Amino acid sequence: MDESLQTLRRKIALGTRILASQGCLGDILGHLSARIPGTDEMFMRLLGDEEKGLLYSDVRHVRRLGFDRTVEQVDGYRVPLELPIHGELYKARPEAQVVLHAHPYHCLIATIAGLELRPIYGSYDPLILSRAMQGIPVYPRSVLIDSPELAAEFISAMGDSDCCLMRGHGLTVIGPTVEAVTLLALRLEMLAKITLDATRATGGRALEPLPQADLDAFAFVVKQGLQAAVSKVYEWTWNHYVQRIADTVGLPAEDE
């Protein structure tokens, strides 16, 4: 296999380990994929026999498949029922190079409670501020997105955003790289946790966004785009999580 494609498979396995280690992916629930450049195919982390869970993802778990769910298995690995989330997003959003569908706990509770994720903090973590300022859409249903028709309904709710909460279900994120998608999902989950904690601390009172003067102070992030404005911070943060994985469960094993 071309080395660039093998590198992409490694990143998917590594991103999956990072997301699982931080609670954004469950034991075996959720999936991370990446478009294979120049094709109508993707690499995706699939479940197989002798499965140990997403925290222990290896390169062999990342398989090549099409955008449409035409088979039940690929090389002995099961194709997820919610493949249409990925395939239909790749068709509808040419800029999407990576798709994550995850089940982060605090995002789940926030959607059930009807809590909006708003720009309630700034310098604590400016990296999430522009997303919160733009508003984070919510898909109001809690069904499995297991058909192109339901995927189209979900994509309509998502609009032109690069992330969408799913009521009673989870979160979907798209982006240009595995790193960008992984780190955005982690920060959205932290925003949801802080929103829940702050709501409890204020006795359920609706949380006010930052004053406009404070929001204006971070205008450079919104204007340049989050990743462009803080690309080095993205690199350092990704390296931090890679090292944490290396020091705990270890890095993904290569393909057999």
18 neighbors 242 (Cβ within 8 angstroms): yes
> Shortest CA distance to 154 belongs to which of 207, 231, 82?
82
List residues with catalytic annotation. 82
pLDDT at 49: 84
- C-alpha–C-alpha distance, residues 135 and 166, integer Å: 14
- The pLDDT score that the predictor gives to residue 234 is 82
Q: To which H or E segment does residue 172 belong? A: strand 170-175
Q: What are phi and psi of 13, to 5 degrees?
A: -60, -40
One pLDDT digit (tens) per residue for the chain, 256 residues: 799 999 999 999 999 999 999 999 999 999 999 999 999 999 999 999 889 999 999 999 999 999 999 999 999 999 999 999 999 999 999 999 999 999 999 999 999 999 999 999 998 988 888 889 889 999 999 999 999 999 999 999 999 999 999 999 999 999 999 999 999 999 999 999 999 999 999 999 989 999 999 988 887 766 665 555 456 788 899 999 999 999 999 999 998 6
Per-residue pLDDT at 229: 47
Q: Is the backbone of residue 23 left (phi > 0), alpha (psi -120 to 50) or beta?
A: left
pLDDT score for 226:
52
- Residue 223's pLDDT is 63
pTM comes to 0.95
Q: Which domains does the chain have, with CATH numbers?
A: 3-247 (3.40.225.10)
d(CA 129, CA 139): 21
Instruction: Find where tokens 């993707």 sit.
Output: 42
Beta strand 163-166 pairing with 41-45: unpaired
